[in-house]
Amino acid sequence: MTIDHILTNDEMLAGLTAQQLRELVGLVEYDPSHDRFPVNGWDAVVWAVGNATQSAHYFQSAMGMELIAYSGPRTGNRDHQAYVLRSGAVIFVLKGAVSPSSPIAEHHRTHGDGVIDIGLEVADVDRCVEQAREAGARVLSDSHDEADEYGTIRCAAIGTYGDTRHTLVDRSRYHGPYWPGYVSCASGYRKRTGSPDRLFDALDHVVGNVEFGRMNDWVDFYRRVMGFTNLAEFIGDDIATEYSALMSKVVTNGNHWVKFPLNEPAVGKRRSQIDEYLDFYCGPGVQHLALATPDILTTVDHMRLEGVEFLSIPDAYYLDPTLKARIGKVRAPAEELRKRGVLVDRDENGYLLQIFTKPIGDRPTVFFELIERHGATGFGKGNFKALFEAIEREQEARGNL
């Protein structure tokens, strides 16, 4: 691969065919001609972390990503170090403060490690910003060009929940390693023999946790500002009070690549996991990022080998006599799923396999999901109920319910 061409639009797809991408993340056909805010897909997800140098190692070793670009004191940027990592069509940028006056230091002091920017690839930045402004969005940075010897990026930024932003990016006239000012960068890190080339291929969805009572406002924000539409799956009062202590709705762009589930805490049997997040993150922010893989079993095996920890699932979930009826026939034997703690859910379009890591930083905030879709367009709603019921059956067996 030549570094000069890493991030052109076509190559953002990273050798994935349109059909592969459609299956991985559930793309649909759509006509962008009447879209007021046409979004092609994801651009980079930018993180603020406490130590970008060491996080870059973790994202290579544990997450199987490839280091491709750098900015920092060595390139004249004395504010922060930034490492750009890639896996298929997923780009993460890890930023850590060098100067104590860096905005990254301020962000990290408040929120800890987390996502500061969910970049979106758009064909017409100016038109999108105009639409966003008319719809009442906070425009954090107006449309402008950023350029270097590799070409020009057109970009702008709008604010979303908490201190999170969306940078809108048109990189069709840019052929550099990532962004003006970044240099291409190789790593001395070598994967274990036998490791797959990559452990995930595409971003499927990014979940935001918002304040109590604000979910509908943020759903409305994405509908009004970006013309996103609701997906059918939602978690309402019924499931919330009994099992999950959260309410959730999902919005998506025209081609359904960019999907934003939005959670708010609900008053349930237990203290909401969303309340815990909001306390520790000190406000709304990104809760989890779902990474699409065509082979979740292999991906989990390799991540575990590197020390990544996943949520443990009670055996009762797999022993549930209704599980088989609920999930029907899936590609892997239930025993293989149980050994790894992989969950299954089904909707009218197919099924999905999913698993959640434990929080990846020092605070109980952001974590990853791995997802392998087989036609299902949902997000695993059925697992809320199944998991909590399984836990309660065990509780009952111990005489503690």
**Binding region for Fe cation:** 205, 288, 369
Helix 215-226 vs helix 125-134: angle between axes, to the nearest 10 degrees? 130
How many residues belong to the chain?
A: 401
Q: Does 231 bind Fe ion (CB under 5 A)?
A: no
Q: How far, in Å, CA of 305 to CA of 123, rounded?
A: 40
Q: Does 163 bind Fe ion (CB under 5 A)?
A: no
Q: How far, in Å, CA of 385 to CA of 366, rounded?
A: 22
Number of chain residues interacting with Fe ion (CB under 5 A): 3
**Nearest to Fe ion of 218, 379 (CB atom):** 379
CA-closest candidate to residue 52, choices 80, 13, 74: 80
Q: Does 372 bind Fe ion (CB under 5 A)?
A: no
Q: How far, in Å, CA of 210 to CA of 162, rounded?
A: 8
**Nearest to Fe ion of 232, 319 (CB atom):** 232
**Nearest to Fe ion of 179, 243 (CB atom):** 243
**Nearest to Fe ion of 288, 302 (CB atom):** 288
Only segment of 71-79, 124-132, 278-286, 379-387 that touches Fe ion (CB under 5 A): 379-387
Among 369, 378, 384, 390, the residue binding Fe ion under the rule CB under 5 A is 369
As measured in angstroms, the least distance from the Cβ of 248 to Fe ion is 9
How does strand 202-209 pair with strand 259-265? Answer: parallel
Q: Which residues from 82-141 bind Fe ion, rule CB under 5 A? A: none
**Nearest to Fe ion of 95, 288 (CB atom):** 288
Only segment of 14-22, 31-39, 193-201, 372-380 that touches Fe ion (CB under 5 A): 372-380
At 297, list the tokens. 């079993």
At 148, list the tokens. 């270097």
At 180, list the tokens. 């003006």
Among 219, 290, 308, 376, the residue binding Fe ion under the rule CB under 5 A is 290
Only segment of 243-251, 269-277, 282-290, 388-396 that touches Fe ion (CB under 5 A): 282-290
Q: What is the dihedral of CA 372, 199, 57, 274, to 10 degrees?
A: 0
Q: How far, in Å, CA of 113 to CA of 139, rounded?
A: 24
Q: Phi/psi at 239 (nearest 5 deg)?
A: -75, -35
Q: Does 262 bind Fe ion (CB under 5 A)?
A: no
Sign for the pseudo-dihedral over CA of 124, 130, 136, 142: positive
- Enumerate binding residues for Fe ion (CB under 5 A): 290, 369, 379
